[in-house]
Amino acid sequence: MVALTSVFTTLFAAALSITGVVAAPVNQTLSARSAAPAAPHFVAYDDKWITPPSAADLEGYNVYALTFWRPNAPVDQAQNWAGLDVATRTLALTNYRAAGIKTVVSAFGADFFPTSGSPALDPTQTADQLAAWVIQYGLDGVDIDYEDYTAMNKKDGSAEQWLITFTTELRKKLPASDYFISHAPLAPWFSPIYTSGGYLKVDQQVGSLIDWYNVQFYNDNAEYSTCDGLINTSSATYPNTALFQIVAAGVAADKLVIGKPATSADAPQGGYMSASDLASCLQQATAKNWNAGVSVWQYPDADAAWIKTVRSLAFPE
């Protein structure tokens, strides 16, 4: 592992040089953090064991999300980040910020269950641990990818209350003046079929503490695979969960980032659209005064060329 980290760091520095990014002095103080950036947000999740991309590689994005933080130890690209030496992380963050790119860590992920797991995690203690990691590793904020299906599907309020308590504590430790917090809920969790409230209740209770939602409009079979199903009217399976139906339920439009997979392999359970088709959907949404942006699972399948195509009609650079 030590040898891999050394090679990883060397390759990263070389990549910066090759792509023409100016290497800031390793002892340079990082630029001050700021409040959450305004919409639109263009978020690239990165879960692969790869050299962190240069700022040039991320052209077209303004948020780079490392996945995943977990209480016992980070995994995948978050683990890679923690394994870099301080100088290399400082260099990366300096160059990202100079290019207008914020860096966050995404917590939990699809195969981690904070509420229904054994043992269940204490939401306050878990928030404290996550906030400490964000601060330790110099990040601009955090993304919460809570996918505890068992807890949410109970419809007994346990998932919602866990998220409310967790988010409240997390914001205490990561003030809005310096850090931003996004969540990445599954689109169906905004449906009224979740009689305990689902993410509508989370938004009602702590939405003021959450800067935006990277809504996962995928992994639900054929849902959200057409512009109409994504933007206007979802099916009876998950009613009232298309973009503007969620807005009608009371969630601010500028907080609803449309999340999509880069390829069908990135979301084998459905919801994939080509970059050009997604661009057309975004154009329709912006015509109705939506401008929140796009998140994608995942880089480098969704590279600079992908996001350029996606942005081309509604958000040209």
- Quick: pLDDT tens for 102-139: 999 999 999 999 999 999 999 999 999 999 999 999 99
Cis peptide bond N-terminal to 300, omega within 30: yes
Contact 307, 64 (CB under 8 A): no
Amino acid identity for residue 277 in this structure: D
Angle ∠(235,236,237) on CA atoms, nearest 5: 90
Domains of the chain (ranges; CATH) run 41-311 (3.20.20.80)
Residue 37, pLDDT score: 84
Calpha distance 106→47 (Å, rounded): 10
Amino acid identity for residue 237 in this structure: T
End-to-end CA distance of the chain: 40
Global pTM reads 0.90
pLDDT of residue 32 exceeding 90: no
pLDDT tens digits, 181-239: 999 999 999 999 999 999 999 999 999 999 999 999 999 888 999 999 999 999 999 99
